Amino acid sequence: MKGLFTALMVSYDQDGNINEKGLREIIRYNVDVNKVDGLYVNGSTGENFMISTEEKKEIFRITKDEVKDQVQLIAQVGSVNVKEAIELAKYATDLGYGALSAVTPFYYKFDFEEIKQYYNSIINAVDNKMIIYSIPFLTGVNMSLSQFEELFENEKIIGVKFTAGDFYLLERMRKTFPDKLIYAGFDEMLLSATVLGVDGAIGSTFNVNGKRARQIFELAQQGKIEEARAIQHVTNDLITAVLDNGLYQTLKEILKDKGVDAGYCRQPMKELSSEKIAVAKEISNLFL
């Protein structure tokens, strides 16, 4: 399960329904053009926290059907509704997903014992492996090194998607857990995370910029830091422009510019204005 995973975008029509044809095109673009090692399905980038259980299943099913065994698949099943998380974990496992991931439970201020019970309940219900999805800036859930250590006592918990800028903690985790998988979650920090020894990365911008992510990751692993840095600089010019214009909407417009039917974002995310659509096209022409 090492390597580069695209946090998969989902195509929705203007009424917010899943556009199956568009979703299949996004998947093909990632497998055939970006040539990533795998897909991270129903994460934040898939707009997962705005859709129903049935829609989540539909996305898992379509993705597996399109990919077959061409690349690795991780199913993000996390939900504050643990019963839903278990139902999705069973569904994705039956479909043949290679690993599961679950966001730390958010909104209520769960204590660590509750968080631990959440992970163990999900993963012990299925014959699969779990990657913790840690994204403190969105969930407000910060876990310490010793808390990760306690979660990792369950051998079915095999790694973490580390979407944070705390590189002191990342370094401590790399040293403490040499056998666990650590994925970088911030694309704009991929070089620094790779230097610290992550096993892979999971990124939204890989939907359009997967080739540069591959170059950064491999050059850094080979110790060619200056070359990797030059590509990270261009990548971050791209990411900064995308973030300024509206992250997911702009990535979708770029995909459309490349001929992929990426559709719209789900409400309450708003549509881009015509000015912002023009900016997205400029970004696409300039960088991709």
Active-site residue, selected from the candidate residues 97, 133, 183, 264: 133
Minimum CB distance to ligand NGF smaller for 163 or for 249:
163
Task: Count CA atoms closer than 13 A to 27's CA, side-chain side.
Answer: 26
Is 204 annotated to bind ligand?
Answer: yes
119's tokens? 């992970």
Question: How many CB atoms within 10 Å of residue 271?
Answer: 13
Give the up-direction half-sphere exposure of residue 184: CA atoms within 13 A in the CB hemisphere: 27
Residue 117 Cβ, how far from ligand NGF at the closest point, in Å?
23
CA neighbours closer than 13 Å in the CB half-sphere of residue 147? 17
CA distance 197 to 220: 10
> To the nearest whole angstrom, how small is the minimum distance from the Cβ of residue 92 to ligand NGF?
15
Cβ-proximal residue to ligand NGF, closest one? 43
Q: Which is nearer to ligand NGF, 25 or 187 (CB)?
A: 187
Instruction: Look at residues 180, 220, 202, 210 and name the one whose alpha carbon lies nearest to residue 287.
Output: 210
Closest distance of CB 135 from ligand NGF, Å: 6
Q: What is the contact surface with ligand NGF in residues (CB under 6 A)?
A: 7, 43-45, 135, 163, 185-188, 202-205, 239, 247
Whether 161 sits among the annotated catalytic residues: the reply is yes
User: Whole-angstrom Cα distance, residue 60 to residue 42?
Assistant: 8
- Residue 133 falls in the annotated catalytic set: yes
HSE on the CB side for 231, CA within 13 Å?
Answer: 21
Q: Give the CA diameter of the chain.
A: 51
For ligand NGF, which is the closer residue by CB, 45 or 245?
Answer: 45
98 marked as part of a ligand binding site: no
Contact by Cβ (8 Å): 228, 191: yes
Taking the least distance from each CB to ligand NGF, the nearer of 115 and 184 is 184
* From 56, 64, 129, 161, active-site residue: 161
Give the shortest CB-78-to-ligand NGF separation in angstroms: 10
Binding annotation for aceneuramate? 44-45, 163, 185, 187-188, 204
Which residues carry out catalysis?
133, 161
Binding annotation? 44-45, 163, 185, 187-188, 204
